[in-house]
Chains A and B, each alone.
Chain A
Amino acid sequence: MTVETGAERQDIEPQESHARRWRGLGWGFVAKLLMMALVNALGLSLILSALNVEAWGILVASTVLLVIADLVYFMRRTLPLKYILPGLVFLFVFQVFTLGYTGYVAFTNYGTGHAGSMEQAVDAALIQDERRVEDSPSYPLAIVQSDGELGFAVTDSEGFVLVGTEEDALEAVDGASVDESGTPTEVPGWEIVPRSELFADQDLQQQVVDLRVPVSDEAVDGSIRTRDGLSGAIYTSSLEWDEDALTLTDTETGTVYRASDTGNFVADDGSTLPAGWVVTVGFDNFVRAVTDATLAGPLLKVTAWTFVFAILTVLTSFGLGLLFAIIYNDPRIRARRSLRTLFILPYAFPAFMSALLWRGMFNREFGIINDWFFFGADINWLGDPFLAKVVILWVNLWLSYPYWFLVCTGALQALPGETMEAARIDGAGRWRQFRSITLPLLMVSTAPLAIASFAFNFNNFTIIYMLTEGGPPFPGTSGLGSTDILISAIYNISGVAGGAADYGLASALSIVVFVIVGIISAIAFRQTRKLEEIQ
């Protein structure tokens, strides 16, 4: 037990009995108990709410994690895990899982029109197709609200009052009262929205007309809707779902929509219903990225520019930083410290703000670049495909050369003096010294950083998006632009920011990026080892 108490070390005679050594629970153990109580409470609440909304994946994952946590912290043999587990949980959920899930999504058609399971797609199809049943009865209806949520209260043919909202299907309530026309006037737990308010408020009217209150949990049963806010009618779909044959039949036209392998309901004449579901599509997304007429060309250009951008950024900023480091690593220069501080200021300025700042400075009409340096010329820096690329490289150079200046200065100062001296004695010229001694030795410490910087810039979403948002756009409908790099192209295609979503294709491109980054890292490893052998 003492292992767990975390109490102060006690100087005790060795022969003293265990019972006497017991000084109660240490504060460390109490703290651990409190932490674990909190973790268990959080975990249990997560499990219960997962059960509530039938999110089985989250239910299983949180149960497993909670059991593991309890085992690890209440067993004595799991000492190392006690220290690693917290980080490991986050790593697994938010990095390993997301990496794996990206891999899965890349092989599906997940996106707009293909979300969720086939059952959800059937429900969506039934709801989208709902129409008022002809000659169906209408029920007296009142608009009710509770906590800002609108609902309908209707009186059915037997005089019972039922209440429901968009989320919750109609359910009978006790203790409601109705007036002589049958309209509910008082519903316990709900506040009746007065007619006058409904007539005065345009937004509210629209919300009421759009409101769809399901009759039951089954989409087949249809819903209650209203046109006037006074009476409601049952709307049902003309589609009929056959669970065994996996077909939706339109009872009015007789068209049969069959479930297809591509996650759609397709009729014999080729027409499809808008609602689909997620299916795995093999390598389709990858194939589409290179064969689709609207996408393949732009994506190729984007990939090429990604490499050009990353390579040129590293080369220019490394080159400039190294040059300045060599020039100013000179003991004869006065005030070197202050000079250095001034040189690296751009690096200390937050990167995203620099990008936004330069975006304003390169503004065509009012920006100071045109105003100060080009005599007020009308140069469309960010709107021209070539100039926009130049601007991005220029700004990234401004941002990152100070980093290389610092790194190279440090590396130069660490160079062995004897080697340089030996070279000088042997009669090596300045250029020769630089080429044959300084640079190779410098590369040992800086090459891994250069590769890391390449990998970082390969995915440097911030600078691209803050400066140009990937624009100017390519002609055509790809939605991509001349300064888009792969990650910003993925961002546009994925539709997480709005618009049509294509998670499948976007994830497939993410996989491509992962592969490229993985290869670069592998090369970096080998290179580091090779360079270390020089030393």
Chain B
Amino acid sequence: MSEQTVTATAGDTRPRRTPTRRSRWWGEVGWKYPLAAVIIFYSIFPLVYVLSASLSDSGTLSGSSALFSDLSLANYAALSDTSYWTWVANTLIVGAASSFGAVLMGAAAAYAFSRFRFTGRRPGLTALLIIQMFPQTVAFISVFLLLTALGNVAPYLGINSKIALICVYLGGALGANTFLMYGFFNSIPTEIDEAAKIDGATHAQIYWKLIMPLVTPILAVVGLLAFISAFGDFILAKIVLVSEDQWTLAVGMYQWVSNQLTSNWGLFAAGAVIAAIPVLILFLSLQRYIVGGLSAGSVKG
């Protein structure tokens, strides 16, 4: 049976108006459209709902069950009376700093592992591979104790400091990204370096002026992944950042929903829409790279 259908459809995609053709079309292709509608409903109704709730006038959970019953920007305006924009700024600071640091440190390490031959190179790579298997988040108690101790010495490295949180994220950077970048660096032919070396370029010049421009795609992927994981991290951010003016979006919005969910719902919905739109745009435009990066790194932020 399959042979027939395959040969019948492979060569001829034109729908014919005979009853048998049509029913075959329904059986083979047509049913996929109604199914697609169901899937789309499943995937986007929560998103449509949150958009509608953000535009609802009442700002409560109970008042937002009718879709787009009113279109008001009251919730968006009310955000400026809360710490929302501080959280946005904190999230951007923490995310940008940790992604910038992760790119710089990861690229430098990948360059060294890929281009230099030194004792301890193989064991170093193996050690990295083993270390990155153990997620930093599970060691959150030690992170807490370490930051408490550091905070007694230097408050900027202690609990409730964004710098400390960035440092913690950077601690995971080398393990998570070096391999991704190492593979990419290896795909750049070494003849390029050798030619430059013969022309008298130093290792720093080769790194900054030759290699870095060639590996820009992987730098973008790693930067984006580091940003997404900092953006989505909850457990470490919740432990490290204590006071409301230091919170990131994940901690702050969790607090909104966990205390008095029903009355803060409008704020949450508006905040979620604002925060999600840039992420959605970024994600959809860079889909290809992210999936490639995910396949190698396998993290969902």
Contacts and interface: CB of A to CB of B under 8 A. Distances in A.
Contacts of A87: 105-106, 108-109, 170, 173-174, 178
A342 B44 contact: yes
Interface string A416-442: 000000001001011001000000000
Interface string B135-176: 111111111111001101110010000000001101111110
Contacts, number: 303
A74 interface: no
Nearest to A363: B61
B71 interface: no
B231 interface: yes
Interface stretch (B77-85, B186-194, B218-226, B276-284): B276-284
Interface in A449-498: 449, 452-453, 455-456, 459, 461-462, 465-466, 469, 487, 490-491, 494, 496-497
Interface stretch (A48-56, A189-197, A295-303): A48-56
B276 A349 contact: yes
Contacts of B143: 94, 98
A333 B235 CA distance: 43
Interface in B37-52: 39-40, 42-44, 46-47, 49-50
A246 to B, nearest CB: 26
Contacts of A494: 140-141, 144
Contacts of A356: 253-254, 257, 268, 272
Interface string A1-45: 011111001100000000000000000100000000000000001
Contacts of B74: none
A353 B49 contact: no
Given A53-B153, A351-B300, A466 B133 contact: no
Contact of B138 (A81, A344, A462, A513): A513
Size range of the interface on B? 35 or more
B44 A345 contact: yes
B68 to A, nearest CB: 13
A139 to B, nearest CB: 32
Interface string B94-136: 0000000000111011011100101001001000000101111
A293 interface: no
Contact of A330 (B29, B136, B167): B29
B235 A6 contact: no
B32 A101 contact: no
Interface string B61-76: 1101100000000000
A222 to B, nearest CB: 25
Contact of B254 (A83, A352, A372, A503): A352
A327 B153 contact: no
Contacts of B113: 84
A95 B167 CA distance: 10
Contacts of A510: 138-139, 141
B109 A346 contact: no
A449 B153 contact: no
Contacts of B254: 352, 356, 465-466
Contact of A371 (B65, B133, B171, B258): B65
Contact of B174 (A58, A90, A102, A429): A90
B9 interface: yes
Interface in A331-367: 332-333, 339, 341-354, 356-361, 363, 365-367
A507 B153 contact: no
Contacts of A403: 291, 294, 300
Contacts of A91: 131, 171, 173-175
A226 B212 CA distance: 67
Interface stretch (A147-155, A173-181, A228-236, A514-522): A514-522
Interface string A97-109: 1110110010000
Interface in B1-20: 1-3, 6, 9, 13
Given A90-B105, A361-B46, A398-B46, A46 B268 contact: no
A282 interface: no
A370 to B, nearest CB: 9
A372 B46 CA distance: 12
Contact of A368 (B65, B167, B199): B65
B28 A332 contact: yes
Nearest to B268: A356
B140 A496 contact: yes
B283 A58 contact: no
A327 B40 CA distance: 14
Given A46-B153, A424-B6, A99 B134 contact: yes
A199 B33 CA distance: 77
A351 B131 contact: no
Contacts of A406: 287, 291
Contact of A360 (B3, B178, B261): B261
Contacts of B137: 459, 461, 487
B205 interface: yes
A430 B2 contact: yes
Contacts of A55: 149, 152-153
B142 A101 contact: yes
Given A351-B300, A456-B298, A88 B174 contact: yes
Contacts of B195: none
A357 B300 contact: no
Interface in B254-287: 254, 257-258, 261-262, 265, 268, 272, 275-276, 279-280, 283-284, 287
Given A330-B32, A346-B47, A459-B138, A353 B106 contact: no
A407 interface: yes
B299 interface: yes
Contacts of A490: 138, 141
Contacts of A57: 149
Contact of B105 (A86, A342, A503): A86
A470 B8 CA distance: 55
Given A350-B275, A453-B298, A6 B205 contact: yes
B201 A518 contact: no
Contacts of A347: 283, 300
A498 to B, nearest CB: 10
Contact of B145 (A101, A359, A466): A101
B23 interface: no
A372 B257 contact: no
Nearest to A5: B202
Nearest to B49: A368
Interface of A: 2-6, 9-10, 28, 45-46, 49-50, 53, 55, 57-58, 79-84, 86-88, 90-91, 93-99, 101-102, 105, 110, 324, 327-328, 330, 332-333, 339, 341-354, 356-361, 363, 365-368, 371-372, 398-400, 402-403, 406-407, 410, 424, 427, 429-430, 433, 445, 448-449, 452-453, 455-456, 459, 461-462, 465-466, 469, 487, 490-491, 494, 496-497, 503, 506-507, 510, 513-514, 517-518, 521
26 contacts: A3-B203, A6-B202, A46-B154, A87-B106, A87-B108, A88-B174, A94-B168, A94-B172, A102-B141, A102-B142, A332-B13, A348-B279, A348-B284, A352-B232, A352-B250, A353-B253, A356-B253, A359-B261, A366-B61, A398-B43, A406-B291, A430-B2, A449-B294, A461-B234, A466-B254, A503-B145
Given A91-B173, A98-B171, 12 more contacts: A86-B105, A95-B139, A98-B136, A327-B32, A357-B272, A363-B61, A363-B262, A366-B60, A406-B291, A465-B254, A490-B141, A494-B141
The 10 closest A-B pairs by CB, nearest first: A94-B171, A452-B298, A87-B105, A83-B112, A87-B174, A348-B283, A98-B142, A366-B62, A101-B142, A521-B133
